[in-house]
Amino acid sequence: MNDKQFTIGVLTSGGDAPGMNPCIRAVVRAAAVKSTEVIGVMNGFEGLVKGEFRTLGARNVGGIIQRGGTILHTRRSERFLEKHFQREAIRSMNSAGIDGLIIIGGEGSLKGAHALAEQGIKVIGLPCSIDNDIWGTDIAIGVDTAMNTIADAVDKLRDTASSHERAFLVETMGRGSGYLAVLAGIVCGAEMILIPEITVTVQEVARAVDEAYRRGKTHAIIVVAEGANVKISELAAALDEMDVGFSTRITILGHIQRGGSPTAYDRMLASRLGVKAVEAILAGESDVMVGLHGSDLVLVPLAEVIAKTRPVRPEYIDMARTLAR
């Protein structure tokens, strides 16, 4: 009779997000209570292929709840979608005695998770990406912290924009999703938001800035999602040429949005998801992601999660426009 205890492997994958560390901590400590061993996999799927493992006990995850980034480090691994590398990963897992995986990451990472589950590995996915584009959850780990970082930055830019009576074009991350830009537009009171979901012309942007100037505004903040159809530098040059009242400056927030100490909200979300993932995997669940629906945690099939993308709620886009008057 095989009486070996179940051993969980945990890894973080894709772009890092604030909240990965509290999530790892929750997995390790929830497992410890069930006398279940946890092995941390370094460097995402790449570390899984190469067998970069370290045992994680309750004391190894002390003092990380407030830290951004991930103590397990992370990688983007396009090649992991190839069968050959998945087979190597399964071989490494078997030789380390890992029985199931908890995978913390975004859409690409959840694709890798589903691929492993299809080959018989027990896998639970946890949504973690500042983009908030993951289907099956209201919000992913890291979004709240990133939003607060953006709000803080735009508030500061507004001070200098007003003093100089300038227009600021502020680029936010989000890949193909306008979520961060729309929310930033609402919570920071932007004059206009450019997102991948809606095509705009330079003339439309120029008109909005010109109208803001005529209405007596002392500044204009235009939030430009990185995936918007107009590129920020070309837009700035065009606005300066067109004479829209304000002169223009650009700020690209970049990877600052991914760093920093997770907010209380993200720590709570990460802790809840981590604990639930351990319960789920020990209960025999697999090939599912733990998502947040309202205030409840739900298990969503990974096949469904990776087949869809979470859209930005249209009413948020409308609200951003209404409040920009």
Sites of contact with ligand F6P (CB under 6 A): 15, 76, 106, 129-131, 173-175, 226, 258
Asked if 318 contacts 191 with a C-beta cutoff of 8 angstroms, the reply is no
Output the six-digit token pair for 167. Answer: 């227009």
The β-bridge partners of 172 are 225
At its nearest, how many Å lie between ligand F6P and the CB of residue 180? 8
Closest alpha carbon to 306 in 4, 1, 14 = 14
Asked if 131 contacts 180 with a C-beta cutoff of 8 angstroms, the reply is yes
Nearer to ligand F6P, 39 or 128 (CB): 128
Nearer to ligand F6P, 96 or 252 (CB): 252
- Per-residue exposure over 135-161, b if at least 16 CB sit within 10 Å of its own CB, e if not: bbbebbbbbbbbbbbbeebbeebbeeb
Nearer to ligand F6P, 158 or 258 (CB): 258
At its nearest, how many Å lie between ligand F6P and the CB of residue 324? 24
The 192-194 sheet, strands edge to edge? 192-194, 220-225, 166-172, 247-252
Q: Provide the CA 70 distance to its chain's centre, in angstroms.
A: 13
**Alpha helices (H) in 165-285, listed in sequence order:** 179-188, 202-214, 232-242, 264-282
In the chain, at which residue ranges do the beta strands (DSSP E only) sit? 7-12, 37-41, 53-56, 100-105, 122-127, 166-172, 192-194, 220-225, 247-252, 288-293, 296-301
Nearer to ligand F6P, 150 or 186 (CB): 150
At its nearest, how many Å lie between ligand F6P and the CB of residue 177? 8
Q: Tell me the catalytic residues.
A: 131
At its nearest, how many Å lie between ligand F6P and the CB of residue 146? 8
The Cα 194–Cα 172 span in angstroms is 10
Q: Which residue is nearest to ligand F6P (CB)?
A: 173
Nearer to ligand F6P, 46 or 226 (CB): 226
At its nearest, how many Å lie between ligand F6P and the CB of residue 26? 22
